Amino acid sequence: MKKRIKIMIISVLSVLLVTDIFAGNFFYNLAIKREQKDFLQGNQDLTVSAAAMDVFLQGGWRQWVAQQDFDEWDLKSFDGLNLKGYYLEAKEPTNKTVMLAHGYLGKAKDMGLYGQYYYEKLGYNIFIADARGHGKSEGDYIGFGWHDRLDWIDWTEKVIEKTGLETQVLWHGLSMGAATVLMASGEKHPENVELVISDSAYTNVHDLFKYQMDRMYHLPAFPILPTSSLITNLRADYTLVEASALNQVKKAHIPIIYFHGNNDSFVPTEMAHELYKNTPTDKELVLFDNAGHGEAYAIQEGKYQAELTNFISKYMK
């Protein structure tokens, strides 16, 4: 009888273990493996307002991007991937360059939405790049900013080589790109980097996944998320816990401004408050009413540009 009970217990535990491993792999493939992400279609948290959608799809910035003659750059990453970047020299000579980092499943030239303002109104050089696992860059997984932070620093050094040692660099990221530049801010980086613009960033990948697992699938984080993190470490060489913008900004030493929509239900606005609270440098937090995830610039362009320009004028020589 005892032997039978023991066998039953072992069998149940084995089933649970296999199920957990299956679920962990499922969520890795769902969110991190480089492939089409159908799970985002119909996601209410990513429903875009009509006003924002009009700007994203029909805005004049798309024509502007298409008309620009970007230089295409190559970079070999620390782990051997060939990454693609694009550089646009300002119309008039300047020592100021903005580096724009795109979001999850995006590509470099999506950041032309912001780049047009920097180029046309502020007169900056523009640099954009396809993150690993995106666009023309190599990579079979999405780094959610963690390995990308090192790529970003390498790109920054390449920008300085191109523009000169006196160049002043501004990092501006959206969503995953914002997490990338925040994570990079906590590393040793060139002193040319003057400040960071973070739009719709998450605190860390673990907490973002935990939040989304509850909202999208009504599943508890344990034990699936630890297993997903282990599988991510095995397959992509990073854990969901270590991929933390929150821990990195605690080590930052340059000014950071946080933009976030008050109606963001994909990356909750509370994450912006937590990032702001834990930033030891000069900082600002600007919230946008009625703005969902990544919508602030599209629906409140005037406010966004004014806050952006005021912040830059405080710290850029």
Query: CB burial class (10 A; 0-12, 13-18, 19+) of residue 62?
Result: middle
Measured CA to CA, the distance from residue 247 to residue 241 in angstroms comes to 10
Average pLDDT of 254-261?
A: 98
Q: Give the whole-angstrom CA distance, residue 29 versus residue 32.
A: 6
Helix (H, G, I), strand (E, B) or coil at 272: helix
Task: Report long-range pairs for 268-272 (Cβ below 8 Å, ≥24 apart).
Answer: 268/211, 271/201, 271/202, 271/203, 271/207, 271/208, 272/200, 272/201
Which pairs from 59-66 meet CB under 8 Å and 24+ separation? 59/113, 59/298, 60/116, 61/112, 61/113, 61/115, 61/116, 62/112, 64/112, 64/116, 64/120, 65/109, 65/112, 65/115, 65/116
Amino acid at 117: Y
pLDDT at 55: 86
Res. 138 pLDDT band, cuts 50 70 90: very high
Distance CA 182, CA 204 (A): 11
In the predicted model, what is the mean pLDDT of residues 71-88?
Answer: 98
Does the pLDDT at position 293 exceed 50?
A: yes
DSSP string covering 16-56: HHHHHHHHHHHHHHHHTBSS--GGGTT-GGGPPPHHHHHHH
Residue 26 pLDDT more than 90? Answer: no
What local confidence, expressed as pLDDT, does residue 19 receive?
46
Predicted TM-score (pTM) of this structure: 0.91
What is the pLDDT confidence band of residue 41, given thresholds at 50, 70 and 90? low
* Cα–Cα distance measured from residue 149 to residue 128, given in angstroms and rounded to the nearest whole number: 14
3 vs 190: which has the higher pLDDT: 190
pLDDT of residue 45: 55
pLDDT for the residue numbered 43: 55
The Cα–Cα gap between 178 and 114 comes to 13
- Per-residue pLDDT, averaged over 44-64, amounts to 79
d(CA 190, CA 236): 27
Is the pLDDT at 40 greater than 70? The verdict is: no
**Residue 27 confidence (pLDDT):** 75
CB 83 within 8 A of CB 138: yes
What is the predicted pLDDT for the residue at 16? Answer: 38
Domain 45-204+243-315, CATH: 3.40.50.1820
Q: Which pLDDT score is estimated for 17?
A: 39
Question: Among 230, 164, 154, 220, which Cα is nearest to 189's?
Answer: 154
Percentage of the chain with pLDDT > 90?
75
> Dihedral of the CA atoms 123, 283, 297, 122 (nearest 10)?
-10
Q: Would you call 171 helix, strand, or coil by DSSP?
A: strand
pLDDT score, position 87: 98
Pick the closest to residue 242 from 288, 196, 203 (CA basis): 203
Residues forming beta bridges with residue 129, ordered by sequence position: 85, 101
Per-domain boundaries in the chain: 45-204+243-315
Residue 23 pLDDT level (bands cut at 50, 70, 90) = low
Rg (CA), the chain: 21
More confident residue, 42 or 311: 311
pLDDT at 29: 84
- Residue 51: pLDDT band with limits 50, 70, 90: confident
Q: What's the mean pLDDT in 281-304?
A: 97
How many CB atoms neighbour CB 122 within 10 A?
Answer: 17
- Lowest-confidence pick of 53-62, 70-79, 116-125: 53-62
* Average pLDDT, rounded, for the chain: 90
